Chain A
Amino acid sequence: MASISARRLAKELREIQSEGCPVGITLLEANDFSRWLFTIEVMGESLYQGEVYDLQFRFDAQYPISSPAVQFVVTGGKQSPIHPHVYSNGHICASILGNEWSPVLSVIAVCVTLQSMLASCKVRPTDNDRYVRNAPENPKKTLFHYDDDT
């Protein structure tokens, strides 16, 4: 019997392939059940118009009980969007990826949430440099403190 994580991701992938992604989101790569890549673009009039970002998902065997590790890709000439909840190393401070993660949420739900989050103001977090200097490789290892200000 396949693990819950594989079964669940297989189902999510089937749905993406049959129904397609929401507007502005495309699946770039999903060769296995450990790492998926999407591109994400903010639709409509926004400061991010025309900018496309790569979003990486990493799953462990506990997915979806445990949240996926989600970050923007900042290698290979890619950059993370300038946003008060996004660090220059690609890490994202969003409660939905931390204490408000629900196993009912899906990869697409996360993409859509982040897409709408981006449609707000365009500055780096005030503590960007300090954070990036000491940040762990996996953003899930950071215990972000979420104040809601969006």
Chain B
Amino acid sequence: MGSDYGYSEDDDDYYDDEEMIDGTQDEEEDTDEDIDMDGDDFKVSTKGKKKSYEVDYESLSQRSVEKLMQRDVEHICGIFGVESDTASLLLRYMKWNKEKLIEKYMDNAALVSVAAGVTVPEAPPPPLVRTQTISAPASTSRRPTTRGSKLLGLGSKSSKSSNPAPSTPRPPQRTSSKLADQAFVCQICFNDSPDMRTLALDCDHTYCTDCWWDYVVSKIRDESEHSIRCMAESCAMVAPDTFVRDLLLPEPGAPVGDKEKEELGPKMWSRLQELFVRHFVACNASLKFCPYPSCTNTVSCPTAASKSSLTTIVPTVSCGARGIGNGVQDMSRSQQFTLGLQGKEHKFCFGCPIESDHRPVVCNVAKMWLKKCRDDSETANWIKSNTKECSQCQSTIEKNGGCNHMTCKKCKHEFCWVCMGPWSEHGTAWYSCNRYDEKNGVDARDAQSKSRASLERYLHYYNRWANHEQSAKLSLDLYAKTEKKMEEMQITSALTWIEVQFMKKAVEEVDKCRMTLKWTYAMAYYLAKGNEKDLFEDNQRDLEKAVEDLSELLESPIEAENIPTLRQQVTNKTVYVQKRNEIVLEDTAQGFQDGRWRWNVSVDGFDDPEELG
């Protein structure tokens, strides 16, 4: 039944497919929490002890993963006494589960070998003249069969002879002339030219080299398939690596026919190596392939390998590489910054694909929240608009920065963009823009007012959630303009480049904290009422207030003479914001580890909420 499908167009790539700017840093891994700016403005020491909202992980280059694979292959070669081609096919077939492979192979080597496409089944399809008999090994000390490709050099003009093998020894290649007397016709392209070169796997299903080439390229390039089966109908043989390599990589000194093929071959071979690594990584729960396009790094994070671990940690990791592609270099610095791309590290969640960093909330809750937002997208769509009416004079006000403190140009009314309440109250301790007043819902009796109350409650959280995302984007836009202005000032005034750079770190910090805040609203929506939630919302409010303050400061007009004062203020506030953010992340993460958080709905992996009276 076709009840399970996906769409091939729908891949997860976040960006255009381009080359990486940066390579791997296999060993070195730097946390982005440290602010080390030019000058000693920002000094928050975070090195040393591991924070509760961080997980241990290691980034691996493709090469390092290949070494891990090689180790398994050699292990199997040693135990089974087979060549590495065979060991690789067996391991891939058994999804790199070595223990299971050893067990099954010891039990019935012939069966496993046939299923893995290593050997031809006992009763082969209508046989050609067989040049060897297939014998399944009775014991593990014997090699099952001779692996390798057969090159039938019909007309034998260009038969491959001795190969100066680069690394691994190539299996012997036999030249056969058994078909030379009868005209061979490739059953795929129906070519019958006498000097055509042909190839077959051990099953002897022979096709011309051109068809093999097209087939292998199509499997690798178009289907991203690493397991290349024989072209014959329902033949389960799989092409061993050496067969594919001999086909794709021209031999040194061999007559080169096609320039295009000569270039494509090595590309396909290296793409195939990447597919092997991807398959290996996918088979191992403690490994994840970096989701950024064209990046071939892997992250190893054993602490997040099990599903149950995801109720206590949010495994935000980074593959070690930065940047997204060559195209980026053509953009101006401020353009890059606006897009948030400059030297951006490849951050992603090891536990889910929903967002690169959804701390402090755990994957399952974040997932639930996003699903809810998708389901309710129509009711909540209005928040996306950038214009609202002044609650006092009803004139239209447009938001063009990240700050939520609005002043009506017409009547000078100051209000909060999110709750539309007067701004004057936002500074006072008893007012909280972040907390939803549950009282509204308490006396709701009938179903209709209940459902209205629940929609209101949802919109309260959703508006704030969406607003932080929107605001972060708007402040990046605004910053791009500011930066340009500051660069101009550099020319017209005595300021140095370093002196005009102080806002950059502040903007980045605001962006980061808004992401934290955004997800705290998803968390608060599902948190059960009570003391713990109150404390959570206190921390949320303090961070929010600090972020709004800094955000407002960043939008104040910049003149050359006020830069030293502004710099001082921005720096102080940045340090404070950072501290508040630490508190939210630390405390929430600690709460997950202690099992302190209770939900108002049932969440996968958590105890069900106690029955509320």
Given contact pairs A102-B234, A104-B188, a sample of 6 additional A-B residue pairs in the complex whose CB atoms are under 8 Å apart: A8-B188, A93-B2, A93-B5, A102-B232, A103-B211, A144-B2
Q: Are the CB atoms of A125 and B233 closer together than 8 Å?
A: no
- Asked if B231 is at the interface (CB within 8 A of a chain A CB), the reply is yes
Closest B residue, CB atoms, query A150: B1
- B residues in contact with A136, CB < 8 Å: 7, 9
Q: Which of B3, B190, B215 has the most CB of A within 10 A?
A: B3
Give the residue of A4, A7, A102, A143 whose beta carbon is less than 8 angstroms from that of B233.
A102
CA distance A62 to B217 in the complex (A): 11
Interface check B187, CB cutoff 8 A: yes
List A residues 112-138 near B (Cβ within 8 Å). 125-127, 131, 134, 136
CB distance from A104 to the nearest CB of B (A): 5
Q: What is the distance, in angstroms, from A16's C-beta to the closest C-beta of chain B?
A: 15
**B-side interface residues, number (CB < 8 Å):** 25
CB contact between B231 and one of A104, A142, A147 (< 8 Å): that residue: A104
Q: Name the B residues within 8 Å of A64 (CB-CB).
A: 188
Q: Is A100 interfacial (CB 8 A cutoff)?
A: yes
Query: Are B1 and A142 neighbours in the complex by a CB distance under 8 Å?
Result: no
B1 — which chain A residues lie within 8 A by C-beta?
A: 84-85, 93, 125-126, 147, 149
Closest to A66 in B: B218
> B1-30: which residues lie under 8 A (CB-CB) from chain A?
1-9
Q: Inside 8 A of A103's CB, which chain B residues have their CB?
A: 188, 207, 211, 215, 231
B222 within 8 A of partner (CB): yes
> Chain B residues in contact with chain A, CB under 8 A?
1-9, 187-190, 207, 210-211, 214-215, 218, 222, 231-235
Q: List 21 A-B contacts (CB under 8 A).
A: A4-B189, A4-B214, A8-B189, A8-B190, A62-B214, A62-B218, A66-B218, A66-B222, A85-B2, A87-B2, A93-B1, A100-B234, A102-B234, A102-B235, A103-B188, A131-B2, A136-B9, A141-B7, A143-B8, A144-B4, A145-B4
Q: CB within 8 Å of B: which residues of A?
A: 4, 7-8, 11, 62, 64-66, 84-85, 87, 93, 100, 102-105, 125-127, 131, 134, 136, 141-147, 149
Per the bound structure, the CA–CA distance linking A87 and B2 in Å amounts to 9
Q: Which 4 A-B pairs have the closest CB atoms?
A: A93-B2, A145-B4, A102-B233, A65-B214
Q: Report A5 CB to chain B, min CB distance, Å.
A: 9
Q: Which residues of chain A are near B190, meaning CB under 8 Å?
A: 7-8, 11
Partner of A142, one of B5, B189, B234: B5
Q: Give A103 to B188 CA distance when docked, in angstroms.
A: 6
Q: Give chain B nearest CB distance to A103 CB in angstroms.
A: 5
A21→B214 CA distance, assembly (Å): 29
Give min CB distance, B234 to chain A, whole Å.
Answer: 7
The complex places the Cα of A143 from the Cα of B188 at a distance, in Å, of: 25
Interface-central residue, A103, A125, A127, A136, by most chain B CB under 10 Å: A103
The answer to whether B232 and A104 touch across the interface, beta carbons within 8 angstroms, is yes
Q: Which residues of A contact B8 (CB under 8 A)?
A: 141-143
Q: Are A125 and B6 in contact (CB under 8 A)?
A: no
Chain B residue numbers with a CB within 8 Å of A85 are: 1-2
The reply to whether B9 and A141 form a contact with Cβ atoms under 8 Å apart is yes
